Amino acid sequence: MSKRDFLSLLDFSKAELGSLIERAKTFREMHARGDVYQPLVGRTAAVIMQLSSTRTRLAFEAGLAQLGAHAVFLSTKDSQMGRGEPIEDLARVLSEMVDIVMIRTLEQSDMQTLADYASIPVINAMSSLLHPCQLLADVQTFEELRGSIKGKRVAFLGDGYNMCHSYINASTQWDFELRIACPDAHQPNADILANGHNAQRVETASEAVADADLVVTDVWSSMGHEGQEAQRREIFEPYQVNEALLDQAKSDVLFMHCLPAHRGEEISSTLLDDPRSVVWQEAGNRLHSQKALVEFLLLGHNGATPTLS
Ligand code: CP
């Protein structure tokens, strides 16, 4: 089997993504039952975080342990990456020692170089361009609570950055309608938007959330925007998601946020406690969906009947 990478949702077919979500739901049920399923005993993964992470790192490291694999964490600060070792060389060394690599790095092009030079699967653990792992958890969560996301209306409010880009890709892959409300100076990447079959920009937050089944936002100053916080708060203020805005969506609307959230900025201070918010289930599903992804990339299948030990 030739190796596959997961740098973007567009790297997988619609059928593969659908199958991953079903597998992630099964992993969630198995976790709740306390099932032990360890098909990856003897395998090793490198979890490389050049930027801070709580959920993504935890989901990979806990998930790999639950699958029987071992995870080695590498940061820029404590490895030769911080001293300028070329990514091409890193890719070759990783390929000699481990079975799979997850990397969070600002530049998508660095991730692509790693994948081009590695003979093992590379997973995008977030770049400034895309955050595809988060979308697996978001779609899983929506489908667990509301059924198929196909044909549903989703609103993304705020910064046209990595989460927005992955929502555009997701709207193509899962066939849902995406309405994006963002400031003119913070529009999504024009190429990604142009290639999104089901995504459109709208003028106002109210237009975006009208009849929405799901409302999503992200922080106004992501990693890479350090020092712009005060200026951004002013620009993004009309795009805050609060209870009154959610009232304009469908009565059974769900609210998601990839976290960490800044209460009082992109969301009202009480929104995470609103019954329409499903952010904790969404965060928990990072674990199950990333396990499904790793299983697929290493074993070449998902949806297999697990062998319990
Ligand atoms: N949502 C997300 O990627 O969280 P972390 O930055 O904590 O990994």
Indicate which atom in ligand 1 lies nearest the CA of residue 133. Answer: 3
Q: Residue 148 — pLDDT band, cuts 50, 70, 90? A: very high
Same domain, 92 and 177: no
Residues 238-278 pLDDT 10s = 999 999 999 999 999 999 999 999 999 999 999 999 999 99
Determine, yes or no, domain membership for 308: no
Q: Give the predicted TM-score (pTM) of the model.
A: 0.96
pLDDT in tens, 172-226: 999 999 999 999 999 999 999 999 999 999 999 999 999 999 999 999 988 788 7
Res 177: pLDDT = 98
Inside any domain, residue 82? yes
Q: Is 55 in the pocket of ligand 1 (CB under 6 A)?
A: yes
Looking at the structure, tell me whether residues 98 and 202 fall in a common domain.
Answer: no
Domain total of the chain: 2
Q: Tell me what pLDDT residue 1 has.
A: 66
For ligand 1, whether the C-beta of 53 sits within 6 Å is: yes
152 and 81 inside one domain: no
In a domain, 53, yes or no: yes
Is 108 domain-assigned?
Answer: yes
Say what the pLDDT of residue 304 is: 52
Catalytic residue numbers, as ranges: 104, 131, 134, 218, 258, 286
Mutate to test the pocket of ligand 1, among 54, 57, 217, 266 (most ligand atoms within 8 A of CB): 54
Whichever domain contains 67, its CATH number is 3.40.50.1370
Q: Please indicate, yes or no, whether residues 238 and 226 belong to a single structural domain of this protein.
A: yes
Mean pLDDT of 287-299: 98
Residues 292, 257 share a domain? no
Query: What is the sign, positive or negative, of the torsion defined by CA atoms of 25, 26, 27, 29?
Result: positive
| Residue 259 Cβ contacting ligand 1 at under 6 Å | yes
User: From the CB of 126, is ligand 1 less than 6 Å away?
Assistant: yes
Asked if residue 242 belongs to a domain, the reply is yes
Mean pLDDT, residues 74-95 taken together: 95
Task: Output the CA 54–ligand 1 centroid distance in Å.
Answer: 5
C-alpha of residue 61 to centroid of ligand 1, in Å: 13
Domain span at 28? 9-130+284-302
pLDDT at 31 exceeding the cut of 60:
yes
| Mean per-residue pLDDT, 58-86 | 96
Q: Same domain, yes or no, for 197 and 233?
A: yes
Which residue has a Cα nearest atom 1 of ligand 1?
A: 258
pLDDT of residue 228: 83
In angstroms, what CA-CA distances link 91 with 71, 84, 97? Answer: 17, 14, 10
pLDDT at position 90 is 97
169 occurs within a structural domain: yes
Give residue for tokens 């805050």. 240
Average pLDDT over residues 120-146: 98
Q: Are residues 166 and 60 in the same domain?
A: no
What does the pLDDT read at residue 225?
Answer: 82
Q: Taking 70 as the threshold, does the pLDDT of residue 305 lie above it?
A: no
Asked whether residue 307 is assigned to any structural domain, the reply reads no
